[in-house]
Amino acid sequence: MERAGLGDRWMYRFPIDGTWYGLPERRREEVLSSADVIINVSGTLEHPERYRRGPRLVYIDSDPVFTQARLLAEPTGAFARRVDAHDAFFSFGARIGEAYSQISGKKMVRYTEEQMLDEIMEQFNGKKVMLLAPLVRGRKGHY
């Protein structure tokens, strides 16, 4: 962590066995109590409510497919309650290779919201279009 400029100012909880790395326990408790934000990366804090000493608790998810699948399978289960214990939820996924449509075989491209609307308007000009999207209620984050 020295190379990242963090020196001895970091801590990590290994989720498999609960072992903490980085700061010694006494110093870790001081930092948890005085931090402006505690960032829970990929849910390594198994019980985030135990760390709610600071003003903000943020969940940053590195595997959005896994998380969304679990939340859909059990929307009121223990995992959903653990995610909901946070003030904010962010998700990202690594982009590996090129994506192709399983139906057409064409390479998939990324569009901005404006580009999507332009494409829909161009392809379906003068036709009735129904846009179906899920309504998200009671969840933190950006949808």
At residue 42, the pLDDT reads 80
Structure tokens at 20: 């903490």
Query: How many other CB atoms sit within 10 Å of the CB of residue 59?
Result: 25
With bands split at pLDDT 50, 70 and 90, how would you rate the model's confidence at 102?
low
Dihedral (Cα; 69, 72, 77, 80), 10-degree rounding: 70
At residue 86, the pLDDT reads 87
Instruction: Express each pLDDT in 46-70 by its tens digit.
Output: 788 877 776 788 888 877 777 878 8
Q: Whole-model pTM above 0.95? A: no
Query: How many other CB atoms sit within 10 Å of the CB of residue 60?
Result: 15
Contacts of 104-109 spanning 24+ positions with Cβ under 8 A: none
User: Do residues 83 and 63 lie in contact, with contact meaning Cβ atoms separated by under 8 Å?
Assistant: no
Q: Is the pLDDT of residue 142 over 60?
A: no
Q: Which single residue is written with the structure tokens 């980085």?
A: 22
What are the residue ranges of helices labelled H in the chain? 25-34, 64-73, 78-84, 113-123
